[in-house]
Structure 1
Amino acid sequence: MFRSPAYDVRPVPVERIRANEYNPNSVAPPEMKLLYKSILEDGYTMPIVCYYIPEEDVYEIVDGFHRWMTMLKHKDIYEREHGMIPVTVIDKDISNRMASTIRHNRARGTHDVELMKNIVAELVEAGMSDAWIMKNIGMDAEELLRLKQISGLAALFKDKEFSRSWEADNAEEDDNL
């Protein structure tokens, strides 16, 4: 039976947590100040979501990078929380962790187009179909196509069929010679 990770929140030392390499979310300075004030005034009301890497005994962030950074940057919050941050853990492969990050982010914040392009390229190279990417990241076909186009990677289109829009007949070719 599935059990939501939110039922298993655990305190983790902030030093045992690291950022992932694929998060395209960015937060403007005014919103970062507001996040700091929110955590200062209300505490951590939402855990960060991580994937546990047992070989390294570290937690890699899936969602909550800016909440994590707030603790790292603000000694008052670090001390109040005794260097611990609430974490929930998901156990998914890298493609599904990327998709989870995007789903969490798309509900709020903005995305860096360059990083989104890289994520799409990585997912395509990992064998994920366009339908899987659209479903799991919450983007439409036009947005996915734009990200593929700006990537300039021909490999992103390797399995696609293209129709010819028209074919010149011999008479037209002769006229143009």
Structure 2
Amino acid sequence: MNLLEDIEFKIEDCATLDEKVELINSIKLLMHSLSPFSTEPVDCVLWIKNTLVHSNDYNPNSVAPPEMELLHHSIASDGYTQPIVTMPTDEGTREVIDGFHRHRVGKECADIQSRVHGYLPVVQIRQSQEDRSDRMAATIRHNRARGKHKVDAMSDIVVELKRRFWSDDKIAKELGMEADEVLRLAQITGLASAFADRDFSEAWEANSFTGDDNEMELIVEN
């Protein structure tokens, strides 16, 4: 019996579906550790129980009901063609970095949930990206070219990154934004947070100020 036949025999010999999935995942992880593509998350797609996969608390991407219906139709017709990007947690679960809506379809749509036996296809983000700031940036990068972002949620992320001592330049680079977009998003949450790393002049330009705060022009020195 050659190696492939031996692997096939061991998989078919599993008593339950869960045992079979666990064995297949173990084989994939071993292959991934030896693979010349081991630095690429997509090299190792695992099937994880959907009860162990949960959303993050900062995703700013929103999908309208018609788009969710189309996503469901796509997965129903074409199957899962993109895994859900996750990171492991200390509790033994997986937090979604990208693919929140694909994860929802697999959990909430009975036909899909039944077809994939209550599992979800996931990949694990690189360990270098597991810090919360890096995870948030990764989510934005994955989502920014598609869908719509909730402005308030994007603003919250920008402000949190600034509080974690990310400069405007780093935020712009990592999130694919222009510098003025970073400032606008930070302004939504408050001017103090928006300009925390800027130097201010001693003067306010208020030549036409009539009492409305929105009419004041703030001079910022770069």
TM-score, with length taken from structure 1: 0.89
Extract unaligned runs of 5+ from structure 1.
Answer: 168-177
Which of the numbers 9, 13, 18 marks the counterpart of 2:49? 13
1:67 and 2:102 equivalent? yes
Displacement after TM superposition at 1:162 (Å): 2.2
Displacement after TM superposition at 1:155 (Å): 3.3
After the TM superposition, which parts of structure 1 deviate over 4 Å for at least 4 consecutive aligned residues? 164-167
Displacement after TM superposition at 1:166 (Å): 7.7
Partners of 2:191 and 2:116 lie apart in 1 by 45
Give the number of the structure whose alpha-carbon radius of gyration is greater.
2
Aligned to 2:3: none
Three-state SS of the structure 1 residue aligned to 2:184 is helix
Extract unaligned runs of 5+ from structure 2.
Answer: 1-35, 206-222
Partners of 2:196 and 2:183 lie apart in 1 by 13
Partners of 1:21 and 1:153 lie apart in 2 by 24
1:52 and 2:63 equivalent? no
Displacement after TM superposition at 1:158 (Å): 2.2
The one-letter code matched in structure 1 to 2:73 is K
Partners of 1:80 and 1:38 lie apart in 2 by 14
CA contact (8 A) 1:99 1:136 kept: yes
Three-state SS of the structure 2 residue aligned to 1:82 is coil
Task: Pick 1 or 2: higher relative contact order, CA cutoff 8 A, min separation 6.
Answer: 1
Please list the CA deviations of residues 88-117 of structure 1 after superposition, one character each: whole Å capped at 9, or x if unmatched: 101221111100000000121010001001
CA contact (8 A) 1:12 1:85 kept: yes
CA contact (8 A) 1:48 1:65 kept: yes
Partners of 1:8 and 1:157 lie apart in 2 by 42
Three-state SS of the structure 2 residue aligned to 1:135 is helix
Please tell me the root mean square deviation across aligned C-alpha atoms, in Å.
1.7
